[in-house]
């Protein structure tokens, strides 16, 4: 922005230099010791705590909060990490307002739950800041397991397998480990290189080797992995992006939201990431909200998030929707993309208003746009995969696929809800089943 006037077109550096630091700083500043003790004292330490049931990784929440209240945050961290080795990241990105905190008795009674997510972060940050690892490896089993994908599911599985004494080889298509945590989450949620710091800390267990730049189907054969390793875990997420499927969708300026978020995550200076003046984001999930909010924080004048169904059907939590609105993002619902207009590059995007059955009402909406971000879901990529359930790998309750010796978890597997915390749980549980199979226990 020059002299208070927004320039036209897609460009970097729209804001004053000091604005970027403020916009992309920590969304939830950490609790200090006093704040953590006060927050912990609000817990009723329920015997049949509903918050535990609401946690996909079954963390003993009353126990770790009591440990914080008694001045032993490292013990609290071990309680958390025993169930969720990526508890630090999940404390930052997990929709606690829909899970443990929604189930909190304080929320039911007062409308103000215990700050479970922030207390979890306090404990795990306290331990990880010391650079120590709370777990040690069991005696070596001589078994070798291949893990495809170094995201939350793959790293969770790898850590549990290594802790149980197995040797683990992790392959990932990207140049860095971390998967969604490194490439797919808004920058303001995990600033200061936390994602890579957590990966480095996790690897302190030993027994895990990571090779980047290797993708299943490109230079990795599932058959060869089955032949070379005692077991295989697939946790490579979803690499493709669904097509928009409307006239003009190939115009310049129509981009994938996941690529935009990844560019921001890897940028040494977010001020150098270009953004449009009029941005439209299509989708209703966390990725759509992250793209929309970050467009606004980069200096876009008008940002509109458009979703084809109603607000109550959006995958993004109410907290995320409210966050977007608070940053100046306009949310339009019950509108489906119809056409992208422009001469070579996008200038407008047209939508059909639709009813609850997705039937056009006859009314349309046209929005000025020099940048359109698609956040309409991702697709599974790979060759010679196990049997699918819809568009994802079919798995049973233990994470076993249709192929002997092959397990899967995380976003690439059917049945989950595409949350980091769920991916961690699925990786952990599959690892336990792999261990049982390999050891006969």
Q: DSSP for 182-217, please give it.
A: HHSS-GGGS-TTHHHHHHHHHGGGSSEEEEES--BT
User: Helix, strand, or coil here: 355?
Assistant: coil
Question: pLDDT by residue (tens digit) across 126-162?
Answer: 999 998 899 999 999 999 999 999 999 999 999 999 9
d(CA 358, CA 49): 40
In the chain, the domains with their CATH numbers are: 33-128 (1.10.1060.10), 144-239+380-439 (3.50.50.60), 241-376 (3.50.50.60)
Whether residue 379 is predicted with pLDDT greater than 80 in this model: the reply is yes
d(CA 183, CA 270): 14
Question: pLDDT by residue (tens digit) across 10-20?
Answer: 999 999 999 99
Whether residue 283 is predicted with pLDDT greater than 70 in this model: the reply is yes
Token pair belonging to 175: 């140049």
Question: pLDDT by residue (tens digit) across 45-77?
Answer: 998 999 999 999 999 999 999 999 999 999 999
d(CA 151, CA 178): 5
Whether residue 241 is predicted with pLDDT greater than 90 in this model: the reply is no
Q: 109-122 burial, b for 16+ CB within 10 Å, e for fewer? A: eeeebbbbbbbbbb
**Mean pLDDT in residue range 400-404:** 97
Q: How many CA atoms lie within 13 A of 435 on its CB side?
A: 21
**Cβ atoms of residues 311 and 333 within 8 Å:** yes
d(CA 326, CA 205): 41
pLDDT-based confidence at residue 382 (cuts at 50, 70, 90): confident
């Amino acid at each position: 922005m020059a002299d208070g006037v927004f320039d036209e077109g897609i460009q970097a550096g729209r804001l004053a230099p000091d604005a970027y630091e403020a916009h992309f700083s920590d969304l939830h500043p950490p609790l200090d010791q006093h704040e953590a003790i006060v927050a912990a004292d609000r817990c009723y330490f329920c015997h049949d705590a509903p918050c535990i049931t609401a946690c996909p990784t079954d963390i003993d929440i009353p126990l770790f909060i009591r440990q914080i209240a008694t001045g032993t945050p490292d013990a609290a961290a071990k309680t958390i990490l025993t169930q969720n080795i990526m508890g630090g990241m999940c404390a930052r990105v997990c929709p606690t307002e829909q899970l443990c905190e929604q189930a909190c008795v304080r929320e039911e009674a007062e409308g103000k739950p215990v700050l479970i997510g922030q207390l979890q972060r306090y404990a795990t940050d306290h331990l990880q800041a010391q650079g120590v690892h709370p777990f040690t490896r069991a005696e070596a089993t001589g078994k070798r397991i291949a893990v495809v994908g170094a995201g939350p599911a793959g790293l969770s599985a790898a850590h549990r397998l290594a802790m149980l004494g197995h040797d683990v080889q992790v392959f990932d298509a990207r140049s860095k480990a971390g998967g969604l945590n490194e490439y797919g989450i808004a920058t303001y949620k995990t600033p200061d290189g936390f994602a890579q710091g957590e990966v480095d800390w996790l690897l302190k267990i030993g027994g895990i080797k990571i090779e980047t730049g290797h993708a299943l189907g490109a230079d990795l054969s599932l058959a060869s992995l089955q032949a070379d390793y005692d077991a295989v875990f697939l946790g490579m997420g979803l690499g493709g992006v669904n097509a928009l499927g409307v006239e003009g969708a190939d115009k310049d300026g129509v981009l994938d939201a996941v690529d935009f978020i990844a560019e921001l995550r890897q940028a040494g200076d977010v001020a150098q990431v270009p953004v449009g003046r009029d941005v439209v984001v299509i989708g209703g999930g966390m990725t759509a909200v992250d793209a929309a909010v970050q467009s606004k924080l980069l200096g876009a004048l008008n940002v509109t998030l458009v979703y084809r169904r109603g607000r109550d059907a959006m995958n993004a939590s109410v907290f995320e929707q409210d966050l977007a609105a608070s940053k100046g993002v306009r949310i339009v619902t019950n509108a489906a993309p119809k056409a992208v207009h422009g001469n070579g590059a996008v200038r407008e995007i047209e939508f059909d208003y639709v009813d609850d059955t997705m039937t056009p009402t006859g009314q349309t909406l046209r929005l000025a746009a020099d940048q359109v971000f698609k956040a309409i879901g991702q697709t599974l990529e790979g060759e010679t995969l196990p049997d699918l359930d819809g568009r994802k790998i079919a798995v049973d309750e233990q994470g076993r696929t249709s192929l002997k010796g092959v397990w899967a978890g995380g976003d690439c597997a059917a049945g989950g809800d595409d949350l980091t915390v769920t991916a961690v749980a699925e990786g952990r549980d599959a690892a336990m089943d792999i261990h049982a199979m390999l050891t006969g226990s």
